[in-house]
């Protein structure tokens, strides 16, 4: 059985597609999708030896070697161009997911959908999608075992489409999540506000330099943006 988080990711994968799950670790997601006939086949990519071995073990134990190819390598480098219809990158920071996409740009041709699940820093991904012509189609936020996760789905299209006038707040907080204001979303941003205010207090005690002044200004703007968004 998959975690609630990976279950939500699985539901966003195009039925009968070829999936590439990058940073697959134990390869639970591709195995689940094949076993439930959601996808035709999959590639599980891992850059670290330990998780690569555990992906191979899971696939062998389930006798899925003919459907799931486990490959060792950095990010999208494990893919041949045009090989995958859907790419999932889950359970990492948003900045790392963005870097994997950026370094692997050349492998994205033919990919129909990206399903990305950052643990933190989702704004890095939204900014990258805007700059690279991917349109955010759907966002989800959920809580499991006390942790809050976001899931972003994107397809090739008009990257500004979901943002409207609210680009800055939308990139930070999510153009779909923001108007929805779910309980989990409000909890996440109230927590974030508290941390930002604490950092602000610390900065106030720091020596007056151009650098601290600039940081203080930046923080104030971010705090105001979040407070306005939460209403
Ligand atoms: N995707 C699984 C999930 O969501 O449950 C596993 C998440 S695990 C926390 C992150 C995995 O990404 C680790 O196994 C790590 O080795 C792998 N990883 C990190 N950077 C990577 C990269 N550049 N290319 C491939 N895998 C990477």
Q: Which CATH number goes with the domain that contains 90? A: 3.40.50.150
Its domain, for residue 203, covers 184-230
Report whether pLDDT(206) > 90. no
pLDDT digits (tens, 9 = 90+) for 72-87: 999 999 999 999 999 9
Report whether pLDDT(196) > 90. yes
Tell me, in angstroms, the distance from the centre of ligand 1 to residue 94's CA: 12
Ligand 1 mutation pick, 10, 43, 47, max ligand atoms within 8 A of CB: 47
Q: Indicate whether 57 and 147 sit together in one domain.
A: yes
**Domain total of the chain:** 2
Atom of ligand 1 nearest to the CA of 25: 14
Q: Indicate whether 25 and 124 sit together in one domain.
A: yes
- Segment 113-137 mean pLDDT: 98
Tell me, in angstroms, the distance from the centre of ligand 1 to residue 22's CA: 7
Are 86 and 17 a contacting pair, CB within 8 Å? yes
How much is the pLDDT for 78?
A: 98
CA-to-CA distance for 152 and 140, rounded, in angstroms? 7
Q: Indicate whether 200 and 156 sit together in one domain.
A: no
Q: Which residues contact 171 (CB under 8 A, 6 or more apart)?
A: 123, 126, 127, 130, 163
Global confidence as pTM: 0.96
pLDDT grade for 207, boundaries at 50, 70 and 90: confident
Query: Does residue 204 sit within a domain?
Result: yes
Q: Indicate whether 121 and 216 sit together in one domain.
A: no
Ligand 1 mutation pick, 4, 7, 9, 25, max ligand atoms within 8 A of CB: 25
CA-to-CA distance for 184 and 106, rounded, in angstroms? 36
Q: Indicate whether 68 and 148 sit together in one domain.
A: yes
Are 126 and 136 a contacting pair, CB within 8 Å? yes
Q: Strand 147-156 to strand 113-118: parallel, antiparallel, or no bridges (unpaired)?
A: antiparallel
How much is the pLDDT for 208?
A: 87
- Segment 110-123 mean pLDDT: 97
How much is the pLDDT for 135?
A: 98
- 3-state class of 47 per DSSP? coil
Pocket of ligand 1 (CB under 6 A): 6, 22-25, 45-48, 51, 74-75, 90-92, 96, 100
């Amino acid at each position: 059985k998959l975690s609630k988080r990976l279950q939500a990711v699985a539901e966003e994968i195009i039925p009968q597609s070829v999936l590439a799950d990058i940073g697959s670790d134990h390869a639970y997601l591709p195995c689940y999708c094949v076993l439930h006939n959601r996808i035709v086949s999959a590639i599980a990519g891992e850059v670290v030896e330990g998780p690569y071995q555990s992906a191979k073990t899971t696939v062998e134990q389930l006798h899925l070697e003919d459907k799931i190819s486990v490959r060792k390598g950095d990010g999208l480098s494990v893919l041949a161009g045009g090989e995958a219809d859907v790419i999932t990158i889950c359970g990492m920071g948003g900045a790392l997911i963005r870097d994997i996409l950026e370094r692997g740009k050349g492998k994205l041709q033919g990919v129909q959908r990206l399903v990305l699940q950052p643990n933190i820093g989702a704004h890095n991904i939204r900014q990258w999608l805007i700059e690279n012509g991917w349109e955010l189609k759907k966002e989800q936020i959920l809580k499991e075992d006390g942790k809050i996760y976001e899931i972003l789905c994107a397809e090739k299209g008009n990257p500004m489409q979901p943002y409207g006038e609210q680009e800055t707040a939308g990139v930070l907080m999510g153009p779909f999540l923001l108007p929805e204001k779910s309980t989990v979303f409000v909890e996440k941003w109230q927590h974030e506000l508290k941390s930002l205010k604490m950092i602000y207090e610390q900065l106030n005690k720091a020596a007056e330099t151009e650098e601290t002044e600039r940081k203080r200004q930046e923080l104030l703007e971010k705090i105001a943006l979040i407070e306005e968004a939460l209403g």
